[in-house]
Each structure stands twice: as structure tokens, then as C-alpha cells.
Amino acid sequence: MPGYEIIDNKEKNALIRLFDKDNGILFAHGYDKIRKKYHVRDFEKKLSNYFKTKYCLVVSSGTAAIKVALKAIGVKAGDEIITQAFNFVATVEAIIDTGAKPIICSVDDNLNLDIQDLKKKINKKTKAIIPVHMLGQSAEIEKILKFAKKKNIFVIEDNCEAVGAKYKKKYLGTIADIGILSFDFGKNITTGEGGAILTNNQKFHKIAHEYHDHGHRNKKNLPRGRDIRSRVGFNYRMTEMQAVIGKEQLKKLNFIIQQNKKRYEILENLLSLKFQYRKQIAKSTPIFDTFILFTNKVKLKKKILNILFKNKVGTKNLPDAIKWHCAYFWNHALDQKQLRNSFITKSYLANSIAIPILISKKINIYKKIAKEILSICE
């Protein structure tokens, strides 16, 4: 369930307070004498407390968060970064934008990064691995980290699509060297656009903080106009408007996941009788935002899609936006070898239907959908 479904007067009133009580300062830096609060910095503290990390930096988007994270670990031109073929194009774009080369790894039959294929892709140029916790569920993060540690390779968790999910009671995005979140309008909490970088590594946080803000060191004893810098940076800052909305959305995250689970379990309990479906890995807790079933029967797939659209639920990414979520289709960004590396994943995704979980749809709608799908299987 995307967070936009429960935007209400709490977010609206937070924006009004920003204008009425905080003098309408929309910029996250400076203007100390006329502002009352730094909402971006406050949002970062609340995210750190919620996800239990030492450091958090919020930025302008999840895509920006990936790029800033790559910069923080020292990625440079000529490095290779391994990520998976079931993904969103932003991850590959961020890698390319640093001058590094994306190396595409297959996913397994549960749509997580394939560990065995990962092992084949490692070489001396490999700087980092970016597993992606796609559509609300954890990758095999423990196995990936264990392998990466042996090879002395960084791991960045792309957790844009599973904000609030856990593995062994730890939040995804907090387990590897760096984790990134997205708050765009389709995510389970939203600031419209926006993202965050989570880490327990002080050095990575320092570099990220400087890089996202034109290299500013933000020395406390210096006004911003006379601040010093130690690196070239860029502008990936979040605004105060995004931050006040984010703080209200964060309060709703537990409720969102609880509501997702109720609807998800209806589909799981009924459709598991007839279909193979995507299961969460052991010791993980997803955010239950999609239920993915598998079928290679073309006519049956078409009938299922008709049911989903008739009930105004539709699908999420699979199959409606597969060309944006499978590297096989990214010939504008990848060479032929990487496109071929994506072929197995394309085959898995072609047989997948992702049913979105929406709080705007009552639980009975999901019962109705499940029963209608079962009825066409008889």
C-alpha cells in the first residue's frame, strides 16, 4: 500500500504550520535567525531512531540516495558494481552516473538476487554489490554479506521498495554497509519525492553529507557563506516541505504494514491452493505490499489480469511496467552482454503477476478477487 493513500489533514496541517509558525523557511540550511526549526535534520533523527541506525541523511530522491551512497564508498570510473536484473532502472542510472559499470546478475525463482550467479560475476574490478529488496521482500542479505565480506567488497542495500521490512528483526536498509530508502509517491511512505541513506559508518555518512550539499563541511563556527569544503559535490538536498510530510508519514508506517498484511494474507490463504507464489525468505518480514503469483499459461494470465482491472486493483510493475523493472529492456544503458545476463530474469518475470495491496480497497474486495481467480482455474 502506498503512503499516498492515507495522506490526510495531518500532512496538510504540518505544511500549514511550516508556513504559519516556522516563517515559511523551505530551505534546509541557513536562515538561522528567522527559522524556528530544522525539519530536515529532525526527520533524519526520527528515521535514525525508527530504523535504529547511527546516521541518516535524507536527500531529494531514492535515485539520488543510490548515487550519493556510491560516492560515499569511493566508487570511481572503471569500477564495476553488481546489481540484479529485476530492479528499477534508477539503480543502473546511478551506477552509470558515477562513471562505474553496472554488471547485471540474474534473480532466482523467488525473484531475489541469485547468489550462485553473483559468485560468477565477481572480479578485481568489483567495488560493490547492490542487492535490491524488490516489491516489499528481502533478498538473501545474510548470504550476500557473508560472501562479500570474504571478497572485501562493499554492499549497498537498495531498499527503496521495502521500507519497514525486516530480516532477523533488523530493518532492511540497516544490515549492509549502507542502505537506501525511497519516499516517492508510489512507496509505502511518501514525501512526494525524496530518499534517505542509512549507515552506522561515520566516514560514509560524512562523505555523503558533504557530497549531497555541494561539498559543504557545515562547520558550526562558520556562517554558511564562509563554510569550507574538501570535495566536489552536488545538490541532492531535501526540502523542509518534504521533511514535515515525511515526519507525519513515518508515524503511519506501522499501521500501513499491519493493513497490508491483512489483505495480503487473504490472497495467500486462498490463491496458494492453486498457484505457486512468491514466498518471503526464512526469518524475514515483508511489508506485504504486493502478492506475486506465477503462471506460464497465457490465457489464464489474461483472465487474471481482466479480474484485477475489473475490480480496479490492477497490477504493480508486473506486467504493466516490466520494461522499467527488468534490465533485459535497457539497451539504452547496458551493453549486449549485460542484456543477455538478464534473459533468465525476463523469463521469470514474464510469468509473474504482482497484485498490489491497497488500503483504499476493503478486505472483502481481496476475498472477491481471490475467489474469482480460483473460479477460472476449475
The set of residues, in sequence order, having a beta carbon less than 8 Å from that of 92 and lying 6+ positions away, is 83, 102, 327, 330, 333, 334
Query: Pick the catalytic residue: 71, 187, 316, 361?
Result: 187
Tens of pLDDT, residue by residue over 191-219, are 999 999 999 999 999 999 999 988 777 76
pLDDT at 217: 74
Judgement on whether residues 349 and 211 belong to the same structural domain of the protein: no
- Final residue belonging to a domain, choices 251, 282, 298: 251
Say whether 187 is catalytic: yes
pLDDT at 179: 98
What is the number of domains present in the chain? 2
Judgement on whether residues 242 and 96 belong to the same structural domain of the protein: yes
Judgement on whether residues 243 and 260 belong to the same structural domain of the protein: no
Judgement on whether residues 239 and 284 belong to the same structural domain of the protein: no
- Final residue belonging to a domain, choices 200, 229, 251: 251
Judgement on whether residues 147 and 226 belong to the same structural domain of the protein: yes
Residues of the chain with pLDDT under 50: none
The residue type at 34: I
Q: How far apart are CA 128 and CA 108, in angstroms?
A: 20
pLDDT at 30: 79
pLDDT at 229: 80
CATH of the domain at 30: 3.40.640.10
- Final residue belonging to a domain, choices 222, 251, 280: 251
Judgement on whether residues 243 and 356 belong to the same structural domain of the protein: no
pLDDT at 218: 76
pLDDT at 35: 85
Judgement on whether residues 163 and 220 belong to the same structural domain of the protein: yes
Judgement on whether residues 108 and 129 belong to the same structural domain of the protein: yes
Judgement on whether residues 205 and 73 belong to the same structural domain of the protein: yes
Judgement on whether residues 163 and 237 belong to the same structural domain of the protein: yes
Alpha helices by DSSP H, listed for the chain, are: 9-20, 39-51, 62-72, 89-97, 115-121, 141-151, 202-211, 240-251, 253-271, 298-310, 322-325, 336-341, 343-350, 363-375
Classified as helix, coil or strand, 330 is coil
Could you report how far apart the first and last alpha carbons of the chain are, in Å? Answer: 30
CA angle at 128 for the pair 210 and 107, rounded to the nearest 5°: 130
CATH of the domain at 271: 3.90.1150.10
Domain residues for the domain of 313 are 253-375
Tens of pLDDT, residue by residue over 63-99, are 999 999 999 999 999 999 999 999 999 999 999 999 9
Judgement on whether residues 209 and 301 belong to the same structural domain of the protein: no
Judgement on whether residues 228 and 247 belong to the same structural domain of the protein: yes
pLDDT at 34: 85
